[in-house]
Structure 1
Amino acid sequence: MKQTTAIAALAALAQDSRLEVFRLLVRQGPDGLPAGEIAERLGVQPATLSFHLAQLSHAGLVASRRQGRSIIYRADVATMKDLMAFLLYDCCSGHPELCGVGDAAAPAQGPGEPPCCAPAQPKAAGTA
């Protein structure tokens, strides 16, 4: 992730309502929520919510799709992961305890992969 992209994402999240919207969408998962339901759950006026969703969308943190007459919003997990990786990139240097990031807080990136910021495992004798 480029620094300018990270700054845009952090700026979008640096507002109470937008952070609440993003966290709600993260909890909701890939199915997302219609804009009206987001507004209702958070007690935000639809016009205000539309502005906040546009800011989050411009920063790449939410994606939308049309479903009938509704627009469904979901958190863009890939962008969120990229942002977290950007923020933690220089932190660990193989020592997750320095950042307070441990195995429980940083799950494996995929099957068979070590947790984020996990110390490099020594190679077995006789391997390249």
Structure 2
Amino acid sequence: MESEYVILALAALAQPTRLDVFRLLVTHEPDGLPAGDIARELAVPHNTMSSHLGILSRAGLVRSERRSRSIIYRADLDRLREVVTFLLKDCCGGHPGVCAPLIDALAPCCPPKETLDG
């Protein structure tokens, strides 16, 4: 990944509403949300939300797809992984123990969802 893409992604997330949008979309993976639902959830005017979603889309952090008459927005978790990996690629400087606390902190974030039958 090139530095310019990382800078674009970080710049997009460096604004409170866009960060909130991205975090909201992450919680709604893999289904995503229509723009109107995002705007209502975050109490942001629709035209303002459209601008924020456009910036996140151009940064590669959000994808959209048309479903019937709605446009559904989803967080692009692959792009997020690429950005974080770029930032941390050389974090340990040849000493893996330096990054171990970070990896440990991330590990419990996504426990498997329980199913009704087990």
Give TM-score scaled by structure 2 length: 0.84
Shift of 1:3: 0.3
How do 1:1-128 and structure 2 match up within 5 A? 1-92=1-92, 93-98=94-99, 100-106=101-107
Give the distance between the partners of 1:64 and 1:4, measured in 2 at CA. 22
Match of 1:111 in 2: none
Shift of 1:98: 4.6
Give the distance between the partners of 1:87 and 1:95, measured in 2 at CA. 15
Structure 1: 5+ residue stretches without partners: 108-128
2:102 match: secondary structure: coil
Shift of 1:11: 0.3
- Between 1:88-97 and 1:67-76, the stretch displaced more is 88-97
Greater helix share, structure number:
2
Q: Deviations over 1:28-87 (max 9, x none)?
A: 112100000000100010000000000000000000000111100000011000001011
Percent of counterpart pairs with the same letter?
Answer: 54
The alpha-carbon distance between structure 1 residues 42 and 81, as it changes in their structure 2 partners (threshold 3 A), is same
Structure 2: 5+ residue stretches without partners: 109-118
Which is higher, the Rg of structure 1 or of structure 2? Answer: 1
Q: State the Cα RMSD in Å.
A: 1.6
Shift of 1:95: 1.9
Q: Which has the higher contact order (CA 8 A, sep 6+)?
A: 2
Give the distance between the partners of 2:83 and 2:18, measured in 1 at CA. 16
